[in-house]
A = this chain, B = another copy of it.
Amino acid sequence: MPLQPSRVVAQLKELRALTGDADGAQRVAWTETWATAREWLASLLADLPLDVERDAAGNDWYTLRGESERAVLIGGHMDSVPNGGWLDGALNVLAGAETLRRIAEEGTPPVTVRLVDWADEEGARFGRSLLGSSAASGSMADQDELRRLVDRDGVSLPDAVGAFGVDLDRVLDARAQLETAAAYLELHIEQGPVLESLELPLGVVLGTFGVERWRVTWTGQAAHAGSTPMAERRDALAGAAKLALAIRDIAREAGGGAVCTSGGVVCRPGIVTSVVETAEQLLDQRHLDAETLAAMLARAQELSHAFADEERIDVAWERIWNIQPILFDDALIGLCDEAIAEVAGSSHRLPSGPLHDAAEVARAGVPTVMMFVQSLRGLSHTRLEDTREEHLELSVAALDRLAAKTVAHVAAA
């Protein structure tokens, strides 16, 4: 039977009925609803000649053995955020399953093809995302921290994952899964507005942005709003306001899709009758190029010190988190471009702002590429998340073409 993209759309709706409610998808990792979704996935694939395995980190692997052990991986995640969308993660898996079915029905492939359903991509319950893929990539270095995590009901992460057969002491054994990997492919909704604004259904992802996430604390002097002349003030909010505006210029000057965000400012004392004494500002900067990202951060810091001098206030920077940019594989980017152009007429290359399991796999040294399908209004992590059905079908067809090209590419290597 040839590929049936419409079947994937039907399966996504079936999954929504099975594991969602009026508020959206409820497939939170390490819950019964998630287990239901994974059992349902297994049942969809039960008629195919696959080896099925749950690894030490809780990732589910569906392996179609080929003439070579070298493997093309196709990945996604069945878990969702609470009140999530019907596509994020599940589209990836079900499109991959459809491709696996098409290949299996054509006979033994020249290389091995594996579908992976990563465990706990979202980190919705314990605040730690990419759990399964970071174990497989070996980048997970914080098991002690994971041991201390508890959910809002007081259940610990070790207990929750233990109920699914996962032992934190052994999760890094999942690294063995990538030993034979020759390529990793992942389809995902864009979760942003770029493709929609370009009126394109599909795009090739160049890599995931590096991220610099900081807390910037401005300290001035509280003073009476009525009796303190303007020239005498040391207003912490003025520093935060200047930086909130300046980061837009920093992003524009950096180019390459750079983004800078000030997600909030907390003012103290924060009352109408006082000049602001301290303003605690959140800053997030992202770029695909590590050097450019470092320069963006340096520029923001340089400007902040100039603003502090102008306002006679102090500024202090505290890093919350950072990650280097992760670039996808040039050869696979080329194949993905071809596959999209063949299916949709034209392609587009763009970076990914959000992180994905694909970034973890790429960090482990496996040649990787992702494909984005348009998201309506850029919405995700909400029941309002949506993509046109014709675009979903195109994405299934394009992923299948990419998989075919990648199998041939790996077989010829």
- A residues neighboring B (CB under 8 Å): 190-194, 197, 209, 211, 213, 223-230, 232, 237-238, 240-242, 244-245, 248, 251-252, 257-267, 269-276, 282-284, 286, 320, 352-355, 378, 380
Contacts and interface: CB of A to CB of B under 8 A. Distances in A.
Contacts of A273: 261, 263, 284
Interface of chain A: mostly helix, strand, loop or mixed? mixed
A251 B233 CA distance: 13
21 contacts: A193-B229, A211-B226, A213-B272, A224-B378, A225-B259, A226-B286, A226-B352, A227-B354, A228-B259, A237-B264, A241-B245, A245-B245, A261-B272, A261-B275, A263-B267, A263-B272, A263-B273, A263-B275, A263-B276, A264-B270, A272-B282
B284 A272 contact: yes
Given A224-B354, A226-B352, A230-B260, 10 more contacts: A192-B226, A225-B259, A225-B263, A227-B353, A229-B259, A230-B258, A238-B244, A263-B276, A264-B269, A266-B267
Q: Which 9 A-B pairs have the closest CB atoms?
A: A226-B353, A192-B227, A264-B270, A227-B353, A241-B241, A225-B261, A264-B267, A272-B282, A241-B244
A192 B264 contact: no
A238 to B, nearest CB: 7
Contacts of A237: 244, 262, 264-265
B193 A353 contact: no
Nearest to A245: B241
Contacts of A276: 262-264
Contact of A230 (B228, B248, B267): B248
